[in-house]
Amino acid sequence: MTTVGRIALDVMGGDHAPRKILEGALRATDPTRDDGLHADRILLVGPRAQLSPILAEHNALDRFEILDSVEVIGMHEEPGTALRAKPKATIPMCIEAVRSGDAAAAVSMGNTGAMVGAATLILRTLPGVRRPGIAITSNLTGKPTTLLDMGANAAPRGSDLVEYAIMGAALQEGVLGVKDPRVGLLNIGEEDKKGTKLTKEARELLLESGLNFVGNVEPDGIFTDCAEVIVTDGFTGNVVLKLIEGFGSFLLDKIVREGKRIGQPLPDEVLDEAMRSVDYSEYGGALLLGVNGVVVIGHGRSDSNAVLNALKVAAKDLDSNVNGRTVEALAKRAKEHPAP
Amino acid sequence: MTTVGRIALDVMGGDHAPRKILEGALRATDPTRDDGLHADRILLVGPRAQLSPILAEHNALDRFEILDSVEVIGMHEEPGTALRAKPKATIPMCIEAVRSGDAAAAVSMGNTGAMVGAATLILRTLPGVRRPGIAITSNLTGKPTTLLDMGANAAPRGSDLVEYAIMGAALQEGVLGVKDPRVGLLNIGEEDKKGTKLTKEARELLLESGLNFVGNVEPDGIFTDCAEVIVTDGFTGNVVLKLIEGFGSFLLDKIVREGKRIGQPLPDEVLDEAMRSVDYSEYGGALLLGVNGVVVIGHGRSDSNAVLNALKVAAKDLDSNVNGRTVEALAKRAKEHPAP
């Protein structure tokens, strides 16, 4: 057994930790599943004393290696302060495992800011990347669309958005096999002059980037397959993410209630189909692109299905060598467009 | 008859002009309706030669006064350039009618940027307002929530957001009768430190503003009745607006298709209820707050129902003297918080 391709899983992250996180790991490594991961590929990071009884319940006491870690960074702690106060908490320990080579990927459903902070500090960014970006690949249109940054950096520069575009394109090519993916810039109009100082700056740089840049994409473009990669700043990206989730739940709830009220409840098939569009657990987690290692950040409300999918995302990214491809793409860009 | 409370309607604005715009005006002034407006309250602004045949079809050739204007600013023209090239187009003519006192309100379904530009230039901003903001009052939660700015100014200052908050609160108090409305700041987290330089600056100023400031509101707060007024920059506001519309249509379409596929089409009552949440025509249009006059900007895709509702919004704002109340609120604020 080697530690190549191993995934450090923060068992204490998210609202349903540790039980649902462990159940996700158990499902991902279910030996009766054809697409299951080998249990060797998962390194549990959390308090052994708390995990053992739950594993014992599932007759899986010896299935995983455990990296004992008793401290936890809460969902609402200020990331910088928390990381300084608790360097041995599960989040920095997961990331440290990647740095030391004990694992190749880190997965947490916990504090996003702490994951971004720990990864940036401990793993450092890839050559040519100033700031990492959080990428989510959704499948709303039936074709995967990668959106970034969904909240790592609320105030990026134009050049950061170009780096996001290069990394998003490398992900689409490397993991999803999309040749020369279309890149769009999220904006409030299709016209050149629309937007903010940032979008104008990013637009100019993207036009010269050598990427397959298709120009500005309006927010409804996310649902109409007009680009495989859509870049934006982390503030807007996070608003988009939370709005889709909030509005989707709101609208579905309204439809379900009205159906009940008139005595014609929504059929399960219809509800399931609609839910798939708004259910984060199907996406499995966001990728932090631009750091030296595969880092997956799941939703705080993750259930065991979401954890399972997050582990699959991590495994797939490792197996397709996303980071290697990203480094190559960044180096190619640096050669063709040397920094001024 | 006086011109007090008269509404100048741009008959050439929007995708379905002039026919649907005229039909909206006809419906709004239908003499058989109890809540109808008197036809004297509407001043049609557009090419007489094109309007007369349509009015004749409806036996309403003499119902309205027409301000003859043959030039039109297209939906995708760059506002500044278009306003300089066509000062006699329907949009600037509507606004000019308000300036001259021929009308008290202007309504257009046309080029938003041109409406904002013409109103700012010709009517000027209210005392104490640096930049006007576009406000939309939605009724998603069953209680009206006013969101602004939805796109007038993509790069505001923190102090602009405070002015938006004062104006939004005056609107809620004056038109909707909400006492001391709660004001929230759209942000990507509830914690103080979240967000951008702009949100941090606005937060500090809102805390000292004397308004009923409830702090940061996350995007899903729009659907959970946590504030009557939610302020944001025009870039984010416009993204929110377009995303709700785009995602709403996308999700409903998915539900309708899946229902048909399994032979259980969505009942009309359910679809209607859901549609009301995403249908701009129910809102009737956005208000441009902060200029010397009532200015309503409708959706480019407006049908006659949307035009009818936009005219009602304008009439209601005039009758409740929104601008007078806003001026008072701004003056009170200036007295209590003199500019440094």
Per residue in B158-206, pLDDT tens?
999 999 999 999 999 988 899 999 999 999 988 888 899 999 999 999 9
Judge whether B328 lies within some domain: no
- Whole-angstrom distance, CA of residue A109 vs CA of residue A95: 13
Structure tokens that stand for B334 in this block: 């200036």
Judge whether A13 lies within some domain: yes
Q: What is the pLDDT of residue B322?
A: 87
Contact list in A for residue B151 (CB cut-off 8 A) is: 188
Residue B174 and residue B308 in one domain? no
Residue B274 and residue B306 in one domain? no
Q: Which of A154, A188, A243 is closest, CB to CB, to B196?
A: A154
* Chain B interface disruption, residue of A251, A273, A275, most B CBs within 10 A: A251
pLDDT band at B334 (very low <50, low <70, confident <90, very high): confident
Residue A144 and residue A227 in one domain? yes
Judge whether B333 lies within some domain: no
* A246 interfaces chain B, CB cutoff of 8 Å: yes
Q: Which of A218, A242, A247 is closest, CB to CB, to B247?
A: A247
Judge whether B320 lies within some domain: no
Q: Please determine, for residue B1, whether its predicted confidence score (pLDDT) is greater than 50.
A: no
- Whole-angstrom distance, CA of residue A63 vs CA of residue A59: 9
Q: Is B236 in contact with A240 (Cβ distance < 8 A)?
A: no
Of the candidates A160, A148, A144, A170, the one whose C-alpha atom is nearest the C-alpha of residue A206 is A160
Nearest CA in chain A to B238: A188
Nearest CA in chain B to A244: B247
- Whole-angstrom distance, CA of residue B49 vs CA of residue A152: 57
- Whole-angstrom distance, CA of residue A90 vs CA of residue A51: 13
Q: What is the pLDDT of residue A339?
A: 64
| Residue at which a domain ends, from A278, A298, A328 | A278
Q: Does the N-terminal peptide bond of residue A79 adopt cis geometry, omega within 30 degrees of 0?
A: no
Q: Is B219 in contact with A197 (Cβ distance < 8 A)?
A: no
Residue A73 and residue A210 in one domain? no
Residues constituting chain B: 340
Q: What is the pLDDT of chain B when averaged over all its residues?
A: 92
Q: What is the pLDDT of residue A1?
A: 36
Tens of pLDDT along chain A (340 residues) come to: 344 689 999 999 999 999 999 999 999 999 888 888 999 999 999 999 999 999 999 999 999 999 999 999 999 899 999 999 999 999 999 999 999 999 999 999 999 999 999 999 999 999 999 999 999 998 888 889 999 999 999 999 999 999 999 999 999 998 889 999 999 999 998 888 889 999 999 999 999 999 999 999 999 999 889 999 999 999 999 999 999 989 988 888 888 888 899 988 888 888 888 887 777 666 678 999 999 999 999 988 889 999 999 999 999 999 989 889 999 989 988 888 776 5
Judge whether B331 lies within some domain: no
Q: Is B197 in contact with A274 (Cβ distance < 8 A)?
A: no
Q: Is A219 in contact with B239 (Cβ distance < 8 A)?
A: yes
Judge whether A256 lies within some domain: yes
Of the candidates A298, A300, A149, A159, the one whose C-alpha atom is nearest the C-alpha of residue A238 is A149
What is the sign, positive or negative, of the torsion defined by CA atoms of A105, A108, A114, A116?
A: positive
What is the sign, positive or negative, of the torsion defined by CA atoms of B311, B317, B321, B323?
A: negative
**Do B46 and B85 meet the contact criterion of CB atoms below 8 Å apart?**
no
Q: What is the pLDDT of residue B141?
A: 82
Q: What is the mean pLDDT of residues B257-283?
A: 81
Of the candidates A167, A163, A161, A204, the one whose C-alpha atom is nearest the C-alpha of residue A186 is A161
Residue A102 and residue A159 in one domain? no
A59 backbone φψ class: left, alpha, beta (φ>0; ψ -120 to 50): left
Residue B152 and residue B270 in one domain? yes
- Whole-angstrom distance, CA of residue A66 vs CA of residue A31: 19
Contact list in B for residue A145 (CB cut-off 8 A) is: none
Out of B55-69, B166-180, B272-286, least confident range: B272-286
Alpha-carbon distance A235 to nearest alpha carbon in chain B (angstroms)? 7
Q: Please determine, for residue B340, whether its predicted confidence score (pLDDT) is greater than 70.
A: no
Residue B125 and residue B61 in one domain? yes
Residue A258 and residue A149 in one domain? yes
Structure tokens that stand for B74 in this block: 């297209």
HSE-up (13 A, CA, CB side) for residue B1: 12
Judge whether A329 lies within some domain: no
Structure tokens that stand for B122 in this block: 């010709």
Judge whether A335 lies within some domain: no
The answer for residues whose C-beta is within 8 angstroms of residue A194's C-beta and 6 or more apart is: A187, A188, A216, B154
- Whole-angstrom distance, CA of residue A135 vs CA of residue A171: 9
The one-character DSSP state at A303 is -
Q: What is the pLDDT of residue A135?
A: 96
Structural domain of residue A162, as residue ranges?
A: 133-278
pLDDT (tens digit per residue) in B212-267? 999 999 999 998 899 999 999 999 999 999 999 899 888 888 888 888 999 888 88
Q: What is the pLDDT of residue A3?
A: 45
Alpha-carbon distance A263 to nearest alpha carbon in chain B (angstroms)? 10
Chain A contacts in chain B segment 84-123 (CB below 8 A): none
Quote the number of domains for chain B. Answer: 2
Burial state string for B212-234 with b = 16 or more CB within 10 A and e = fewer than 16:
bbbbbbbbbbbbeebbbbbbbbb
**Do B138 and B221 meet the contact criterion of CB atoms below 8 Å apart?**
no
Q: Which of A219, A250, A264 is closest, CB to CB, to B243?
A: A219
Q: Please determine, for residue B29, whether its predicted confidence score (pLDDT) is greater than 80.
A: yes
Residue A301 and residue A224 in one domain? no
* A243 interfaces chain B, CB cutoff of 8 Å: yes
* B252 interfaces chain A, CB cutoff of 8 Å: yes
Tell how strand A133-138 and strand A145-148 pair up.
antiparallel
Q: What is the mean pLDDT of residues B60-88?
A: 95
Q: What is the mean pLDDT of residues B81-93?
A: 97
Q: Which of B196, B199, B269 is closest, CB to CB, to A262?
A: B269
Chain B contacts in chain A segment 140-159 (CB below 8 A): 140, 151, 154-155
Strand partners, A215: A184
Which ipTM was obtained for this model?
A: 0.92
Q: Is A267 in contact with B250 (Cβ distance < 8 A)?
A: no
For residue A179, the domain's CATH number is 3.40.718.10
Tell how strand A182-186 and strand A229-231 pair up.
parallel
Residue B302 and residue B232 in one domain? no
Residue A89 and residue A175 in one domain? no
- This model's pTM is above 0.90: yes
Residue B64 and residue B184 in one domain? no
Of the candidates A103, A84, A131, A126, the one whose C-alpha atom is nearest the C-alpha of residue A2 is A103
Structure tokens that stand for A230 in this block: 């859509």
Q: What is the pLDDT of residue B339?
A: 64
